[in-house]
Chains A and B, each alone.
Chain A
Amino acid sequence: EDKVVQSPLSLVVHEGDTVTLNCSYEVTNFRSLLWYKQEKKAPTFLFMLTSSGIEKKSGRLSSILDKKELFSILNITATQTGDSAVYLCAVTETSGSRLTFGEGTQLTVNP
C-alpha cells in the first residue's frame, strides 16, 4: 500500500522566516509527487515533480524531488501571514491519476 509521510505535522514561525517542509513516500510504481496548499477551502495546486534533482520554483516557493531517497522538500522563503495553511504532499502511480496524500503540515506564520 502506498504511503506518504510528512513532517513536521505542525510548524509555527514568524514573518520573514524560511521554512522547509518534508515529504517521504513509499510507492510501488511512482509517477509523480505533488504539493498542494489548503486554507479553509479546497486544496490549490503548487507543484508537480516527476524528475529527480530538478527544482521547481514559483516566487518564494520552491520544491525538489529525490527519487533515490524517496523524498521531497518544499521551501518557503520570507514567509508571510498569507502563507499560513496546511501544505499537503501527494503521490501518483503509473496506473492512473489517484492521489495518495500525507497528513499535511499545518504552517502558522505569525506577524
Chain B
Amino acid sequence: KAGVTQTPRYLIKTRGQQVTLSCSPISGHRSVSWYQQTPGQGLQFLFEYFSETQRNKGNFPGRFSGRQFSNSRSEMNVSTLELGDSALYLCASSRDIYEQYFGPGTRLTVT
C-alpha cells in the first residue's frame, strides 16, 4: 500500500507571496491532518479534514487555510508569507480515529 505523499518536497518563496501544498493520503484514509514543525515550537497542529469538512483547527492565523477533496486529497494554502512561516509542513492520514501516518513533508523556506 502506498504511503502518504506530499508535493512539492521543497519550496523557496519570498515574503508576501502565497503557497499551496498538496497531500495525498493512504488509500482508504478519510482523515487528513496538517502540522507545522519548527525547531522552536516543535510539532503544532494546523487543521484536520474528514470527508471534505474541517473537523478541528489549531491556533494559527487566518492566512493558513486548507481544504479536502472528494477523493480525500488535501491542500493547504498560506497567503502573505512571513519569514516565520519557514518550517517543515507535515501531512498525516488516518482511518478516522486510528493511528496517523505521516508523509515526508514539504520543507518551506521563506526569504
Contact = CB atoms under 8 A, between A and B. Distances in A.
B43 A97 contact: no
B92 interface: yes
A95 interface: yes
A92 B45 CA distance: 11
Contacts of A42: 90, 102-105
Interface residues of A, number: 23
Interface residues of B, number: 25
A97 B96 contact: yes
Contact of B33 (A41, A45, A99, A102): A99
B65 interface: no
A96 B56 contact: yes
A67 interface: no
A44 interface: yes
B74 interface: no
Contacts of B33: 97-99
B97 A44 contact: no
B101 interface: yes
A34 interface: yes
A99 B100 CA distance: 9
A111 B94 CA distance: 36
Nearest to B88: A42
Contact of B99 (A45, A95, A98, A100): A45
15 contacts: A36-B102, A42-B90, A42-B104, A42-B105, A43-B43, A44-B102, A95-B56, A96-B55, A96-B56, A97-B92, A97-B97, A97-B100, A99-B33, A99-B92, A101-B43
